[in-house]
Amino acid sequence: MLVGLARDAQLFNFDSDWLWMPSCKTSICRRACLVFYQNPTSPGEEDLFTVFNVNSNYLSFKREWLSKLKKVVVLQLGRWQSSPTHHIEVDDEGLFLKGIGAQHYLSFKYLSLRGISGITRIPSCIFNIISLEILDLRACHNLETLPSDISSLRKLTHLDISECYLLEGMPKGIGKLSSLQVLKGFLIANLKNTPSRLGDLAKLKKLRRLSIYIGTEAVMHDKEFETLKEISSLRRLKISWAVVSPKLKEQIAHQSLDFSFPPDLEKLDLQGIPVKEVPPWLNPRQLTNIKKLYIRGGELCSLDHAGEETVTECKWRVEILRLKYLSNMKIELPKVEDQFPHLLYLEKVKCHEKDIFWSKSQGQKLSNC
């Protein structure tokens, strides 16, 4: 029924050879799909609203074709699937992207290059599309360089550059993206390659979700993480550490006292935390409204603070606690039950002891698991 209605409404053209598969033909509708090894070449490119990569894993079309898409709104060239096994390649290191000229795109709102391998740099013309609202560059594993200034994208609400592990640094002007609500993959690297720092994000009054990646060459300013508390709209925060050198690990340990968080933060996700003792900032006094706490990977041994009082106001308000891949982590369940009195769900996977999946709705006390 869904396919039939979509066909009747000319939402997509469906290939007669593949009964339920959208087609790359553009002659009878204004949405084209990239399917297998086909590329849309039919007349009518100038009137297309959408180009969507259904399952093509190899992109090979000329930049001249992109330059004809003067009315496009959505350009989904990357994968839509969440699994990294859906691999997409290009044959020209992404040079076809230069066919996107800002002067042609007055209604262009969405661009996704997610999971495309082989793109080493993003051309400056992409950062000049002032109508763009969503830019998804996630998991472009060969991406090394972004244009130097992103401040023209004032309408941008979502920017995802996470899992781009070869990226050298962040562009300047992020603090001027006043509409930004979601920023994933903000890289802290060396000072030369990162003109945008955490302090610039305090200017983003609509930012709700932020993920930070601390790279192997990271150089952090003194008290840089104190500026996090100034992002008052932030509700979800993720911090990931790369495999760090002993020197950087020592620096992180010294700077751990400088972390401060927004008062209304609800979710904190920590990946690869490179210290064994629980840092002073990871405590319920500072994270008063946290409902979800995820800790995955790293060297953390315990959640206990030396000499911590057990008064009511010092206990966590966390409802969902996930601990994964913490080979040094030792947990005493009665102590967890005491420190997390509001806990509804606990997931402990591949830590020091046996795996635990506990839900309060099952009626079993946590200490009996």
In terms of DSSP H, where are the helices of the chain? 2-8, 63-67, 246-255, 333-339
Parts of the chain with a pLDDT under 70:
14-30, 35-44, 101-105, 191, 193-194, 244-257, 306-313
Q: Residue 30 corresponds to which amino acid? A: R
pLDDT of 2 reads 81
Q: Name the token pair of 280.
A: 């002073």
At 188-213, the pLDDT tens digits run 887 676 677 888 898 999 999 999 99
Cα 88 from Cα 341, distance rounded (Å): 46
Instruction: Give the H or E element holding residue 159.
Output: strand 158-160
Q: How far is CA 351 from CA 277, 323, 354, in A?
A: 16, 8, 7
The phi and psi torsions of 257 (rounded to 5 degrees) equal -70, -15
Cα 156 from Cα 161, distance rounded (Å): 13
pLDDT of 40 reads 53
Instruction: Give the H or E element holding residue 160.
Output: strand 158-160
pLDDT of 244 reads 66
Would you call 367 helix, strand, or coil by DSSP? Answer: helix
Cα 275 from Cα 294, distance rounded (Å): 16
Long-range CB contacts (within 8 A, 24+) of 42-46: 45/69, 46/70, 46/71
At 250-272, the pLDDT tens digits run 666 665 557 889 999 999 999 99
Model pTM score: 0.88
